Amino acid sequence: MIMKLIKFTILFLCLSVTYAFSQVHVKGSRFFDIAAGTVDGIDHNLKNDNSGFWVSLGTGRYNKFENSWRWNLDYLQKTYVFSPDGLNTGTIPVRHYSVQFGHGFKLIKSKRRVFYLNAIPQLLAGYESVNNNVSVAGNYHINNKNKFLIGGMVGIEIEIEHFTIQAKQRWLPKSSTKIFHTQLGIGYRFNR
């Protein structure tokens, strides 16, 4: 078991060194992202009201002026607590599955290309699932419906080496639960 752990650690370090010396923001090069974070706050207890999280996989290609075109697949989940009679409480999970396309604009960069501040506007299309597509929660009927969504997202991204810190505002005008969502998160970027 220890030998497997040592071999895995050596392999991970070799891959990390390879990625550490790769060029970033060079025209025509590609990148892959994995990111996760919170939605509308920092509460991760899925039994509390308004708690939520998101996960994203993305890819993109750098173009001239060190900007990039980007694609993302996102999963977002929030929990809403309801208590119609004041005594019995229940939770309603709301899930968003979405595809995003947009552009990353370089705002600031360091001389050695280890720090970037990027602005990211994106278009979004997806699906909203309310209470796992069940219209009854306990003894109560849910009026919110599952539906297809369109909207957009605007974000700021701080890129340090291969790590990213992200703050995004998601706008979903057709959502049956909430139109705006604030997303905060961290990620890792593989440059190729």
So where are the chain's domains? 24-191
The three-state secondary structure class of 66 is helix
**pLDDT tens profile 77-101:** 988 877 766 665 777 889 999 999 9
Q: Residues 4-40: pLDDT tens digits?
A: 555 555 655 555 544 444 567 788 889 999 999 999 8
More confident residue, 51 or 61: 61
pLDDT at 159: 93
Name the E strands within the chain: 30-39, 51-62, 68-82, 90-109, 115-130, 136-137, 140-141, 147-160, 163-171, 180-191
Specify the pTM. 0.79
The CATH class, in words, for 24-191 is mainly beta
